[in-house]
């Protein structure tokens, strides 16, 4: 897998979104709760990326498990209701096991008009996962999403991909895009063994994960940090989008942004952007369809 450090280069393309929008806003909810590592599911360690605690990690940790349970029991419903309040349709990155363990919420994601995108059966990175095991994992995820929502996912996002991931998605078929990139502000094609493949980049700067990284210098220390991060990114891309339309992503998690103080920041952000014309709040499957229809060739 070769790297592309040039991309669109200095001559950034002038693309067109539906109705001439200046910005495509992609709201992404990571539904991973119940799929995280825990010895209760046979893992060697408990999940270590958690809410502000130093984790012992080697044993089952009921505090950590219940943090994730909050996302599935309460947080996801708060986020679904908030999205409804603004008529905003989102892309949910769905771990297969999270969907199976909360089929009521899984059904509701699609019933309310959101996209269910594949996110791996468990919430684990693919660093050293073999090709065969990764293929099985993709198939198992697709089956779980389809069984719980009635719809097959057309998008894919790994917790961490490896060099085999894109080739396997193409081999499996049925996928329009992946989001296994943080490399640009716009969708773009990548070469996978001579085939053009669409990637819709995701974000690691406008993400609520920073609430769970408070021990790092990049962590959010109060709820308003997230709102400022979202509005600053929006203002910048909206301004650039006057001449060259852009795409913005916001990454949310039921166990994090589903908490009241953080959900309030999303509420305020959605209210803020609703005051601007030319904002296309779009699911990634819609962005992928638009791209496939209008920009299948070189952009
Ligand atoms: Zn995720």
Query: Quick one: average pLDDT of 75-99?
Result: 98
Q: Given the DSSP bridges, would you call strands 23-31 and 91-94 parallel, antiparallel or unpaired?
A: parallel
Q: Give the CA radius of gyration of the chain.
A: 19
User: How many CB atoms are closer than 10 A to CB 162?
Assistant: 18
Give the chain's length.
Answer: 299
Query: Domain segments of the chain: what residues?
Result: 18-294
Could you report the per-residue pLDDT of 176-235, keeping only the tens digit for each? 999 999 999 999 999 999 999 999 999 999 999 999 876 677 789 899 999 999 999 999
Both tokens of 186, joined, read 């716009």
Given a cut of 70, whether residue 135 has pLDDT beyond it is yes
- Tell how far the Cα of 216 is from the centroid of ligand 1, in angstroms: 19
- Tell how far the Cα of 297 is from the centroid of ligand 1, in angstroms: 30
Given a cut of 80, whether residue 23 has pLDDT beyond it is yes
Bigger pLDDT: 154 vs 57:
154
Q: What mean pLDDT is reported for the chain? A: 95
- In CATH terms, 18-294 corresponds, of 3.20.20.370, 1.10.10.10, 3.40.50.720, 1.25.40.10, to 3.20.20.370
- Tell how far the Cα of 93 is from the centroid of ligand 1, in angstroms: 6
The protein residues having their C-beta less than 5 angstroms from ligand 1 (an ion) are: 30
- Tell how far the Cα of 223 is from the centroid of ligand 1, in angstroms: 20
Query: Quick one: average pLDDT of 153-171?
Result: 97
- Tell how far the Cα of 270 is from the centroid of ligand 1, in angstroms: 21
- Torsion angle of the four alpha carbons 174, 179, 180, 184, in this order, in degrees rounded to the nearest 10: 140
- Torsion angle of the four alpha carbons 83, 238, 188, 177, in this order, in degrees rounded to the nearest 10: 0
Give the Cα separation of 200 and 188 in Å (integer): 7
Query: Quick one: average pLDDT of 145-153?
Result: 98
Could you report the per-residue pLDDT of 116-134, keeping only the tens digit for each? 999 999 999 999 999 999 9
Lowest mean pLDDT among 87-96, 215-224, 276-285: 215-224
Given a cut of 90, whether residue 273 has pLDDT beyond it is yes
Q: What is the pLDDT of residue 56?
A: 77
Q: What is the pLDDT of residue 215?
A: 64
């Amino acid at each position: 897998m070769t790297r592309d450090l040039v991309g669109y280069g200095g001559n950034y393309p002038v693309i067109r979104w539906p109705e001439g929008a200046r910005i495509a806003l992609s709201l992404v909810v990571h539904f991973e709760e119940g799929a995280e590592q825990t010895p209760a599911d046979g893992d060697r360690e408990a999940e270590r990326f958690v809410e502000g605690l130093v984790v012992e990690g080697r044993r089952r940790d009921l505090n950590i498990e219940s943090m994730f349970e909050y996302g599935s029991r309460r947080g996801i419903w708060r986020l679904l209701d908030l999205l409804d309040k603004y008529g905003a349709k989102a892309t949910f990155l769905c771990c297969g096991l999270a969907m199976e363990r909360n089929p009521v919420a899984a059904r509701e994601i699609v019933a309310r008009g959101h996209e269910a995108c594949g996110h791996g059966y468990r919430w684990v990175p693919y660093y050293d996962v073999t090709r065969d095991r990764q293929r099985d994992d993709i198939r198992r995820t697709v089956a779980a999403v389809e069984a719980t929502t009635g719809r097959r996912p057309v998008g894919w996002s790994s917790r961490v991909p490896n060099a085999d991931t894109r080739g396997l998605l193409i081999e499996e078929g049925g996928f329009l895009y992946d989001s296994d990139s943080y490399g640009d502000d716009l969708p773009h094609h990548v070469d996978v063994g001579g085939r053009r493949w669409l990637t819709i980049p995701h974000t690691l700067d406008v993400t609520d994960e920073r609430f769970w990284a408070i021990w790092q210098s990049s962590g959010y220390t109060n709820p308003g940090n997230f709102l400022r991060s979202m509005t600053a990114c929006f203002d910048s891309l909206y301004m650039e989008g006057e001449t060259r339309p852009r795409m913005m992503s916001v990454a949310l998690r039921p166990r994090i942004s589903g908490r009241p103080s953080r959900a309030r920041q999303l509420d305020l952000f959605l209210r803020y952007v609703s005051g601007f014309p030319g904002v296309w709040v779009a699911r990634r499957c819609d962005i992928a369809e638009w791209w496939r229809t209008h920009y299948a060739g070189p952009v």
